[in-house]
């Protein structure tokens, strides 16, 4: 190898872009040629100068903290557009299912209290709480912990009742967003099944628990009491879910807003 051949290879060699065979040839040339060897040392010197400690800016702790906080907030409250793009939801929302839900709800309530719109929303909220594994903002089996937790977070006080003795233990609650408003979501369990109970105030007469629909394996039961509308959503079988609704409506001490 002569200087003309070696010269263009020096940079490639310094950047680790030269294959082994030619690297060996170049190294032999550098041992013999002081001009090329000097160019090689200059380049090395430059690389060392640029790579020296103190020229690298590691991420400030503050940046890492802020970014993580923002990402966690985002994943806790997925944007509506994301929700609709989920495969399971588009399946759940598609065709016949929607029509059935809508017809059923409309036939149950003469005045459709946005139920045709709310039922899919409630089911999707329920599923989301399971999928994202963030069903709970407050984790407690104690109704006296869960109820005060909503203070200052909602403009009403949801009735909170533990049905542990009926084998529907309360496991916690969270804030949710349904029908364009903040609502209380209480979470109960029966065996491995999770029950979401959505509650918010309405101006409508009391009604008995009614099974609204079963969609994609989820059941929705609705009732109203003491100025509150309550919606139980679960994959639990309809009989047991109705049991839950009757226990809850029968024994809950409802407080007006």
Partner 1 sequence: MDERERLKLFEQTVLPHLDAAFNLARWLAGNDHDAQDVAQEAGLRAFKFFGSFRGGNARAWLLTIVRNTFYNWLQKNRPAEIAGGLDEEALAVEDASMNAEALHLQLADGATVRRAIDELPVEFRELIVLREMEGLSYREIADLAEVPIGTVMSRLARARKLLQKRLAGEFKPGGRI
- The residue ranges that bind partner 1 (CB under 8 A) are 11, 15-17, 35, 38-39, 41-60, 62-64, 66-68, 70-72, 74-75, 78, 82, 131-134
Q: How far apart are CA 241 and CA 238, in angstroms?
A: 5
* Residue 201 CB contacts under 8 Å (≥ 6 apart), including other chains: 156, 227, 228, 229, 257
* Smallest distance from partner 1 to CB 46, Å: 5
* Smallest distance from partner 1 to CB 6, Å: 13
15 versus 204: smaller Cβ distance to partner 1: 15
Question: By CB neighbour count within 10 A (0-12 exposed, 13-18 middle, 19+ buried), where does 203 fall?
Answer: exposed
8 versus 152: smaller Cβ distance to partner 1: 8
Q: How far apart are CA 184 and CA 162, in angstroms?
A: 15
* Smallest distance from partner 1 to CB 27, Å: 19
78 versus 227: smaller Cβ distance to partner 1: 78
* Smallest distance from partner 1 to CB 196, Å: 16
DSSP at 154: B
7 versus 117: smaller Cβ distance to partner 1: 7
Q: Are 188 and 171 in contact (CB under 8 A)?
A: yes
* Smallest distance from partner 1 to CB 227, Å: 35
19 versus 53: smaller Cβ distance to partner 1: 53
Q: How far apart are CA 223 and CA 201, in angstroms?
A: 12
């Amino acid at each position: 190898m002569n200087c003309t051949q070696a010269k263009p290879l020096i940079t490639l060699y310094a950047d680790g872009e030269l294959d082994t065979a030619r690297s060996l040839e170049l190294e032999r040339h550098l041992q013999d040629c002081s001009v090329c060897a000097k160019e090689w040392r200059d380049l090395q010197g430059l690389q060392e100068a640029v790579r020296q400690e103190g020229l690298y800016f590691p991420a400030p702790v503050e940046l890492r903290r802020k970014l993580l906080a923002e990402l966690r907030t985002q994943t806790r409250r997925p944007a509506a557009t994301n929700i609709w793009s989920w495969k399971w939801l588009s399946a759940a929302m598609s065709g016949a299912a929607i029509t059935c839900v809508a017809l059923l709800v409309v036939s149950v309530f003469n005045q459709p209290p946005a139920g045709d719109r709310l039922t899919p929303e409630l089911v999707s909220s329920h599923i989301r709480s399971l999928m994202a594994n963030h069903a709970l903002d407050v984790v407690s089996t104690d109704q006296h912990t869960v109820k005060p937790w909503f203070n200052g977070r909602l403009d009403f006080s949801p009735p909170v009742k533990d049905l542990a003795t009926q084998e529907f233990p309360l496991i916690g609650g969270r804030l949710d967003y349904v029908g364009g408003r903040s609502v209380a979501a209480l979470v109960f369990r029966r065996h491995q099944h999770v029950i979401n109970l959505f509650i918010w105030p309405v101006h409508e007469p009391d009604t008995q628990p009614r099974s609204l629909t079963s969609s994609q394996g989820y059941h929705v039961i609705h009732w109203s009491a003491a100025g509150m509308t309550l919606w139980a959503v679960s994959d639990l079988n309809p009989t047991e879910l109705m049991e839950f609704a009757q226990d809850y409506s029968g024994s809950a001490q409802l407080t007006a807003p």
